Structure formats: C-alpha cells, structure tokens
Amino acid sequence: MKKSAIVEKIIGNLSQYSPSQNPATAYAPTNIALVKYWGKRNQELNLPVTSSLSISLADKGAETTLSISSIKQDVFILNGKLVPATSSFHRRLSLYLDLFRPNNLFLDVNIVSTVPIAAGLASSACGFAAMALALDKFFSWQLSSQQLSILARLGSGSASRSLWSGFVEWHAGVREDGMDSYAEPLHEKWPELGVGLMMVSESEKSISSREAMQLTIETSELYKSWPQKVEHDLKTLKQAIQEKNFDLLGKTAESNALAMHATMLSAWPPVSYCFPETIAAMRRVWQARADGLSVYFTQDAGPNLKLLFIDQDAIRQYFPEIEEIRPW
C-alpha cells in the first residue's frame, strides 16, 4: 500500500480543500525515546517492528510556517537560509508535500529549528510533526490528533510521537495499512524529571537512521531478541512512570539504548554512532553513579547523550556543560 492511499483514506479528495490565503504556523517539540524505535516492518509506511515510548523536550523543536509560493516550486527556508533544491533535505520535504498537494500547488515553507539537523536529536520527528500540524491548519482539514499522528509518521516514524508534550507512546499496530499505528500521550506528569543535552557533535551523521535500521534487521544476529527486550522495557518503564521510580526509569532507558546500539554493532558492516567523546561521556555518567549521584543516559542514532536526572544542583556540579531541559 502506498502513502497516497493512506492520505486518501484519512483526508479524502484533496481538491475539496482550499489553501489559506494567510500563512499557517505550527510548532512541534522534538522527542527522545526512552524505549527505542529501531526497525520497520513496512518501509513505505514507516510501520515499526515494536512500540516505543518517548519524552518530549518542550521548547526544543521546530516551528513551520506555510504560505502559497509565487513560483512553480517549493521553497524551503531553514533558520533563515535557503535550502538548495538539489539537497536531500529539499527532496525529502517536497516528496512529503506531494502527498497533500492539490492542483499542483507549491508552497513557501519557513522552518525554524532549535535542534541540529541529522545529529541524532530527532530533528526529523519535530520537523514532520510541525509540517503535518501546519498543513492541517493551512487546508482546514480539522483532523484528529490520531489522524495527524499517522500523517506525521508517513514523513518520519518518530514524528508520530512529536504532536504532544510529556510522555508519549507509539503503538506499533498490526494492520497492513498502519491505521492502528499511531501515538498518544500518557496522562502522567513528572515535573521533577530533568533532561540534559550532552552535545558531542552537531555534524550530520555518516549513515541515516533509515539505512542503519534496515542494515541491522538484515544482518544482526542480536536483532531477533530486540522485540522481546522492548516488550519488557515498555512494561517496566510504564511502571516506573506510574510509581515515580526514577532509578527504575533511568536504568530501563539506559539499558534499552545500549541494547539498541549493541544490535547495530553486531550488524555487518557494523554501525556505530559513538565518537571517543561519547564513550568518555558514558564513563563520566557511570562514575557519577558510583559516587552516589542518581543519573542515567540515553542515546539515539547519533553521538550525543541525553542525561536523565532529578537533582538539578548535583547535575550542575558534575556536568556543568550540559543544557538542562524541564519537559514540564
């Protein structure tokens, strides 16, 4: 099944909706998976092998503004700079807009992102989520959050989780058309929980998440145990959130991230997003825990770590360079 068929199933006939004559703006936060999404059962529709659970990073994300273009071409402005039409970034976004384009309408798209692009900080998640929300406003579709989560997923799997703040679960689903694969927020809030960005590099990664996922599925002997690991960790993490058990949450998230990266290392050729500085940062976290500080990390498909903590003052002493974020 093609993405266009899913769009038709959700929106119907695109030509019945007229674009707004005024710009439409929407914001979406980036999200960090505590139980990871790694592997697709359907590449075309971005359907995951497993469910996943994330936490959104409040004011870290993307704001997207759409307006009608005066030329027969999409124009993308990213953080004040024109995106070259020959770039992969331009092509990927234009292909996404093709799914929703009535009567050869082209758009000016102004994106302001507060996260580096393709550096393992889920820039595509907040980018496509903001795009889906802006399109809903621009064409007055008036879709439900569940429907918008599915449409965002067509751009990037993890974008399905970036429509909300706080904890969000993405259900893997079982249907071939993916209509049961969408995200929804958890009701629990945890104002004391902090996230710290430990930046190692903002450079674009050498292999995309999409490529690394497929390579891992096809060649890693360890991957066959990944779904069972996720099932166990999801159950444990939800328990930790309900009980406000920080050490259980941190241990589960860190273990899940390390397991994901282990499957990549066992692929062939091996995939590693770690720099020497990444490993050094991990060792600093482990030493801090040995010294009695309750701190854990998670790592996505990139070299940067995200620290999880409660004690803000102690974290500042051990890791003064991190950027602290309070999701609530």
Output the pLDDT for position 118: 55
**Under DSSP, is residue 121 helix (H, G, I), strand (E, B) or coil?**
coil
Output the pLDDT for position 121: 54
Task: Give the bridge partners for 95, in sequence order.
Answer: none
Please say which residue of 185, 220, 235 terminates a domain.
185
Task: Give the bridge partners for 67, in sequence order.
Answer: 108
In a shared domain, residues 106 and 243: no
In a shared domain, residues 170 and 207: no
Per-residue DSSP letters for 11-23?
Answer: H--GGGSPPPSS-
319 to 58, 248, 287, 289: CA distances (angstroms): 21, 22, 12, 13
- Mean pLDDT, the chain, whole residue set: 95
Rounded to the nearest angstrom, the gap between the alpha carbon of residue 130 and the centroid of all alpha carbons in its chain is: 12
In a shared domain, residues 159 and 287: no
Rounded to the nearest angstrom, the gap between the alpha carbon of residue 247 and the centroid of all alpha carbons in its chain is: 24
In a shared domain, residues 175 and 241: no
In a shared domain, residues 292 and 165: no
**Under DSSP, is residue 197 helix (H, G, I), strand (E, B) or coil?**
strand
**Under DSSP, is residue 4 helix (H, G, I), strand (E, B) or coil?**
helix
In a shared domain, residues 311 and 178: no
The CA distance from 37 to 55, in Å, is 13
Output the pLDDT for position 122: 55
In a shared domain, residues 161 and 245: no
Please say which residue of 137, 167, 185 terminates a domain.
185
Please say which residue of 185, 209, 230 terminates a domain.
185
In a shared domain, residues 259 and 158: no
Assign residue 225 the CATH number of its domain.
3.30.70.890
**61-99 pLDDT, tens digit each:** 999 999 999 999 999 999 999 999 999 999 999 999 999
Who's near 228: CB < 8 A, 6+ residues apart? none
296 to 81, 117, 193, 207, 293: CA distances (angstroms): 36, 25, 12, 26, 9
Residue ranges making up the domain that contains 134: 3-185
The CA angle 321-327-328, to the nearest 5 degrees, is 130
Closest CA to 263 of 39, 54, 35: 39
Domain count within the chain: 2
pLDDT along the chain (328 residues), means of 10: 97 95 97 97 97 94 96 94 93 96 93 76 86 98 98 97 97 98 97 95 85 96 97 98 98 98 98 96 97 97 95 93 93
In a shared domain, residues 81 and 221: no
In a shared domain, residues 35 and 171: yes
In a shared domain, residues 205 and 123: no
In a shared domain, residues 204 and 295: yes
Output the pLDDT for position 31: 96
**244-299 pLDDT, tens digit each:** 999 999 999 999 999 999 999 999 999 999 999 999 999 999 999 999 999 999 99
Output the pLDDT for position 104: 84
Entry pTM: 0.95
